Structure 1
Amino acid sequence: MSRVVGLLGVLTVFRDHPVSAQERFDISVYPYATAHRGEWELEGHLNYASRGTSGFAGSVAPTQGQWRFAAEVSSGITDHWELAGYVLGAQVPGLGLEYAGWRLRSRLRAPASWRLPVNVGFSAEYETARPAFSESARTAELTAIFERRFGNVQLIADPTFERDLAGPEHEWELLSDRGLATRR
């Protein structure tokens, strides 16, 4: 019974906060698992921005109606550390298909042998973006990864600190990504 009450408490966090990928090139809520040593993965991520700006904001293109694509190649360096590179693109209404930038990511996870109460990981990213896709030409992102399973239910929280390295904002900003999944 206490598990059900706890799960309902966690779900109330999701109730009032719609999970959406509307900013820049949000790709996913990162899980705890990393690629194994020597393993290569190729993934494509496709997002559609149904809501957003309808006109240019300075040099940044309208976001409403944009299709965003990220091609990701990742490789397991060790069983607990992976590196990934992304190429970013977008289909912008009225502008066509555009190259948007690139991203590098390093992700680590604590070994299961540590027997922590939650699975813990860490991700560091560096992104460059063309002026039509971000006010900042370069961005750094640091993400803690917390994951816990309750039977077939998987909860993930990825609190993220982001900082523009070349743009109008120079403060660290706290973002919050979270996910809920079930497995059969």
Structure 2
Amino acid sequence: MSCRLMAQDNYEIQVYGSELVDSAHTMVELHSNYTLNGSKTVIDGMLPTNHVEHETVEITHGWTSFFETGFYFFNSVGSDGRTAYVGSHIRPRFAAPLAWQWPVGVSISFEYGFQKAQFSPNTETLEIRPIIDKKWGGLYISVNPTLDQSFKGPDQNRGLIFSPNVKESYDITKVIALGLEYYGSTGPFFNYDPYQEQQHQIFIAADLNLSPDWEVNAGYGQGLTKVTDKSIFKLILGRRF
């Protein structure tokens, strides 16, 4: 992990689908991510990520068929002073109503929040995440061409950082879908960072469709550049109420 804005800072590693939480319903999720091979020294005041566990609680409430709000509580668990509450975000999200009958699912979220400098040098940030997805039979594809803006920290004068996320999966059975997820952060538009200073991660992931009320996603990821954590396990457990 470097001082650059990461796609998701390895707290909430997820490619979003366009579907919202139903009106008058609440989704509670736990994002558990363990860095098997990460940074091993303090970089620009930020603690190392090697052998650290990130636990994020996400609570999302659906207000209407086209609007929801999510709340995040980021936590770190690790040795040498790395166990701490890290920060919180709020995320309103809007979706194109189904009545519009668009050929693809479309929504957009705006995630704003704060985090401690020893865990993320950019301590006040905004994420703008357009979401476009489509399912053809057993094949599912979602694209999140995300933009990150720092208001306080080393990236605050760099402008919008392009941080694309992509997911492709296929239903192996009615219960299990297997696929790939990509997470990146390339630098400002038209002034991209050198490749080895960019963030690029590929995850092999599985989704379990156990029940409409449950969400289960698990995966193993590899970093492709020198500033990206090299080896991460992730697990998402969600329950709708």
Instruction: Verify the 8 A CA contact 1:40 1:76 in the aligned structure 2.
Output: yes
**Equivalent residue letter for 1:121:** S
Q: Which residue of 1 aligns with 2:230?
A: none
* Larger mean Cα displacement after TM superposition, 79-88 or 51-60: 51-60
Instruction: Verify the 8 A CA contact 2:12 2:56 in the aligned structure 1.
Output: no
Q: Which residue of 2 aligns with 1:36?
A: 22
**Residue 178 (1) aligns with residue 176 (2):** no
How many pairs were matched up? 164
Q: Which residue of 2 aligns with 1:77?
A: 63
How far off is 1:106 after superposition? 0.9
**Equivalent residue letter for 1:172:** L
Structure 1: distance between partners of 2:94 and 2:134: 17
Pair 108,83 (structure 1): closer, same or farther in 2 beyond 3 Å: same
3-state SS in 1 of match to 2:23: coil
Pair 132,53 (structure 1): closer, same or farther in 2 beyond 3 Å: same
**Equivalent residue letter for 2:166:** R
Q: Which residue of 2 aligns with 1:126?
A: 112
**Which structure ranks higher in relative contact order (CA pairs < 8 Å, sequence separation ≥ 6)?**
2
How far off is 1:22 after superposition? 7.3
Q: Which residue of 1 aligns with 2:9?
A: 23
Structure 1: distance between partners of 2:77 and 2:165: 25
Q: Which residue of 2 aligns with 1:108?
A: 94
How far off is 1:149 after superposition? 0.5
**Residue 169 (1) aligns with residue 155 (2):** yes
Q: What's the TM-score, normalizing by structure 1?
A: 0.83
Instruction: Structure 2: give runs of 5+ residues left out of the alignment.
Output: 1-6, 175-241
Pick the aligned partner of 1:49 from 17, 35, 41.
35
Cα deviation per residue 1:60-105 (whole Å; 9 max; x = unaligned)?
Answer: 1101222111101110011111101111101123225211101111
3-state SS in 1 of match to 2:62: strand
Cα deviation per residue 1:144-176 (whole Å; 9 max; x = unaligned)?
Answer: 100010101110000100011101112110001
Q: Which residue of 1 aligns with 2:81?
A: 95
Structure 2: distance between partners of 1:87 and 1:23: 13
Structure 2: distance between partners of 1:25 and 1:45: 7
Instruction: Verify the 8 A CA contact 2:52 2:82 in the aligned structure 1.
Output: no
Structure 1: distance between partners of 2:100 and 2:66: 12
More helix, by proportion: 1
1:114-153 aligned within 5 A:
114-153=100-139
Q: Which residue of 2 aligns with 1:16?
A: none
**Residue 68 (1) aligns with residue 54 (2):** yes
**Equivalent residue letter for 1:122:** I
**Percentage of identical aligned residues:** 24
Structure 2: distance between partners of 1:126 and 1:22: 13
